[in-house]
Structure 1
Amino acid sequence: MIPELRQLIEELRADLADQPASLAWAEFGEGAAIDAVPVGLPADLRDLLLAADGLRGGRVELASTSTLAGMQYHLDYAPDFSSIPEDRAGWLVVGTRSDEPIFMDRGTGAIWYFPPNGTEWFMSDAFEELAPDLGSFVDYYLLGPGYAELTPADDQWFAYLDEQGLLDEDDEDVT
């Protein structure tokens, strides 16, 4: 994880701690202890868990060390057309968007999802790459202007990102 993204996470975590009501719409865990992070995780995910053991901003939530294993059941429901059933071990569920899974391709580190198309994700006919890596996903979709692309309406997290000046695409240079 690049130092600028780690610093942004730390700054936002400190700011959110000063706003107790934010627990309803945002929560940034403290970094996990190195021995708590499961062995064999992709480097990007491992680095993120060491910086923040679980991240939730509005409708996007990234797993913590204690919730990661429990999210993997989503792999069992992936539609046959996607590459997940052919290579289940090559994928990892790293979080959710409005209760729908966000996947990481273990081989490339790319982040994938089933984009909204009027049907449940497990019956979808579209599976798309969302970001080339986890750091880019966090920077753009969780902490930046891409959040609005993933969510159906403005919410408190979106308003918070706006207040922090994080929705201006011209300022996006952390990736």
Structure 2
Amino acid sequence: MTSTELATLLAAARDLLPQNMDWEMMNQVPKGFSGGFGKSLDPSIPDPYQDYLKTANGGIFGRIVLFDAKSAPLSQFYAETPPGAPVPLGQDEWYCIGKVNEDPLFMRRADQSVWGFPDRGVVWSQSPDFEQWSKDLDGFLLEYVFGPGYARITGADDTDPWSQVRRELGRAAGES
């Protein structure tokens, strides 16, 4: 279940974006998936991500993109191991929830931890570096979307529009 802290931050960011044209152009915090017109969430989506989608149907947080309910199931080709890739993946074990810069972001189905490929100057599919960034989705969002981890995994500086949104929300303390 999405934490109260995270739901509050998502709502605050959603309300803040229209105050600045650059923020609104470069970021998006949609309302949650409502299942209108008889639609429901794809059952292949892991439960924690379904919970998130009900709070915010995807999102563009600067250089971090979380797929919406329609795009997520269609983006699982990222979870297939590319030929010659040093990191074995597979849709049975991994679910691609979005991207950081141009690299896919995964949830491990077994324990709902969030993993990604740190930027090492190589294409993600050729990188041997695959790291657990958080033990769960809420932790990832609080640390890397709304917290100081954003600059670490994206390389963004303080001129980045999402960095400015985070600062306005009081979530950039201690960053330079």
TM range (shorter): 0.7 to 0.9
Q: Which residue matches 2:134?
A: 131
What amino acid maps onto 1:150 in structure 2?
I
Give the helix-richer structure, 1 or 2: 1
Percent identical across equivalent pairs? Answer: 27
Q: Which residue matches 1:46?
A: 50
Secondary structure in structure 1 of the residue aligned to 2:162: helix
Please state how far the C-alpha of 1:18 moved relative to its aligned partner. 3.8
Pair 1:115-2:131 in alignment: no
TM-score, length-normalised on structure 1? Answer: 0.87
Q: Distance in 1 between matches of 2:22 and 2:163?
A: 15
Q: Which residue matches 2:87?
A: 82
What amino acid maps onto 2:93 in structure 1?
G
Q: Deviations over 1:46-76 (max 9, x none)?
A: 1110000011111000010121122211123
Pair 1:140-2:143 in alignment: yes
Q: Distance in 2 between matches of 1:20 and 1:45?
A: 29
Q: Distance in 2 between matches of 1:43 and 1:160?
A: 28
Q: Which residue matches 2:97?
A: 94
Q: Number of residues paired by the alignment?
A: 167
Unaligned runs of 5+ in 1: 170-175
Pair 1:156-2:150 in alignment: no
What amino acid maps onto 1:47 in structure 2?
D
Secondary structure in structure 1 of the residue aligned to 2:133: strand
Q: Which residue matches 2:15?
A: 14
Secondary structure in structure 1 of the residue aligned to 2:77: helix
Q: Distance in 2 between matches of 1:96 and 1:14?
A: 24
Q: Which residue matches 1:104?
A: 107
TM-score, length-normalised on structure 2? Answer: 0.86
Secondary structure in structure 2 of the residue aligned to 1:96: strand
Q: Deviations over 1:31-60 (max 9, x none)?
A: 001443212422210111000001111100
What amino acid maps onto 1:71 in structure 2?
S
Unaligned runs of 5+ in 2: none
Secondary structure in structure 1 of the residue aligned to 2:92: helix
Q: Distance in 2 between matches of 1:28 and 1:70?
A: 20
Coordinate RMSD, CA, aligned: 1.8
Please state how far the C-alpha of 1:80 moved relative to its aligned partner. 4.1
Q: Which residue matches 1:71?
A: 75
Q: Which residue matches 1:62?
A: 66
